[in-house]
Amino acid sequence: MNYALCTMNYTLMTTPILFNLNDSELEQFVAGFGQPRFRAKQIREWLDRGAPDFASMKNLPETLRRDLDATAQTLPVRIVQKLESSDGATTKFLLELAGGEQIETVLMRTTYGNSVCVSSQAGCAMGCKFCASTLLGLKRNLTANEMYAQVLTAKWELQSSDVTHIVVMGTGEPLMNTDALIEFIERAHADLNIGMRRITVSTCGIVPGIEKLTEWGKPVNLAISLHAPTDELRSVLMPINNKYKIAEVLDAAFRNADKNNRQLMIEYILLESEERRAQSLDINSDKLKDNKETSNSELPTSTLCALRSYNSSVEHAEQLSELLRGKNVMVNLIPWNAVAEREFSAPSGNAVHRFQDVLIKNGIHTRIRRERGTDIGSACGQLRLNSKNQKQ
């Protein structure tokens, strides 16, 4: 690429993203500013550390930093908002991608290390009934670079310590974007030295995607978002179950975990549902119903509201135990993070422990996932949804 072509590129791409250029493209880019090749190397080092802006690149001349700032972007994700939980353990980023779509990334500082929750798609097509990420549908798949840049953003935030774990549990269904996912994981492993066994991919149960991971053969952890113990219930809660039934999903998942000698993780959100029933107020309403001239919507009604265990009763726990008995599995019981648009609620602590006790009695490893960052809207997709709602 010569200088003229480079200038043309500026007009074609609104903002060139330097992280997406290869080494020779980056050299040609800095040559466009009359800069020597070693500047490209310096910039690459900053990009690989996750520098969110050019002002941070302290060894570049100030004029170059300003020129770059006016014409280019460092990473393929741009921080729109950054929120810290009150205990300082969780940082949540709202990030913007090229084209304007937004995603969320969460950095969790834990006793075992620093874990990053990565989004794999902008939005989601899966339509799970309890989830905020899917409310606006799928916008697009993320590239491997966009996933990797989320980890770099967290790495920059940590400064002196490293990202040690990755969980692909942010917005989107990673196994609807499996090629980019694998490219991202290979790179995070090679360049950031994150062990495959410290990376977890969570899926709602895309069987061909699970099989692709098994063929790929790297020992990443697999998590299945199960959330219901019967096909009947799961198909209502998670439409993907109409395509891939529980038995088929668990078969594929255990084949993967067994081949990689890993423990399969099952995610299970405990839910109660509000049952709303219209109830007639007027003792004469039966007569009114018989009156052909009166439509039903005109009848005086009140709403009866009752809570019922949706997937969280002792019977559900027994059914779940039947599915998992004797397997190398860990069941993560997840307190539901309330999503205003969804008509569920989380069961009481007692109900959660009652459910867990049944699993324990049946010899199944289980733990209750600690809620993190609820004060900063850490439920999947909430921050992005709020931001979208404000824009509209």
User: Which residues are at the interface with ligand SAH (CB under 6 A)?
Assistant: 128, 130-132, 169, 173, 202-204, 225, 267, 269, 334, 336-337, 339, 379-380
Question: Closest separation between CB of residue 104 and ligand SAH, Å?
Answer: 11
Residues 6+ apart with CB under 8 A from 254: 264, 327
- Report helix angle 178-192 to 144-158, nearest 10: 40
Which of 344, 268, 351, 275 is CA-nearest to residue 306? 275
Residue number, 72 or 168, with CB nearest to ligand SAH: 168
Name the minimum Å distance from CB 355 to ligand SAH. 15
CB of 371 to ligand SAH, least distance (A): 9
Report the nearest approach of ligand SAH to the CB of residue 324 (Å): 16
Backbone torsions φ then ψ of 266, nearest 5 degrees: -115, 130
Pick 20 or 221: Cβ nearer ligand SAH: 221
Burial environment of residue 54 by CB neighbours within 10 A (0 to 12, 13 to 18, 19 or more): buried
Structure tokens at 137: 């549908």
Task: Indicate the residue among 267 and 272 with the shorter CB distance to ligand SAH.
Answer: 267
Query: In terms of CB distance, is 19 or 130 closer to ligand SAH?
Result: 130
Catalytic residue set: 104, 380
Q: Pick the closest to residue 196 from 213, 221, 229 (CA basis).
A: 221
CB of 341 to ligand SAH, least distance (A): 10
Cβ atoms of 18 and 47 within 8 Å: the answer is yes
Q: Shortest CA distance to 364 belongs to which of 335, 323, 336, 334?
A: 323
Q: How far is the CB of 239 from ligand SAH (least distance, A)?
A: 12
Q: How far apart are CA 180 and CA 148, in angstroms?
A: 10
**Cβ partners under 8 Å of residue 196, min gap 6:** 185, 189, 218, 219, 220
Q: Which is nearer to ligand SAH, 131 or 376 (CB)?
A: 131
Q: Contact, 280 vs 197, CB < 8 A?
A: no
**Nearest to ligand SAH of 154, 223 (CB atom):** 223
Give the number of other Cβ atoms within 10 Å of residue 152's Cβ: 26
Q: How far does Cα 12 stand from its chain's mean position?
A: 32
C-alpha neighbours within 13 Å on the C-beta side of residue 286: 1
| Tokens of residue 292, six digits | 């052909």
Is the Cβ of residue 18 or residue 317 nearer to ligand SAH in the bound state?
A: 317
Least distance from ligand SAH to the Cβ atom of residue 61, Å: 43
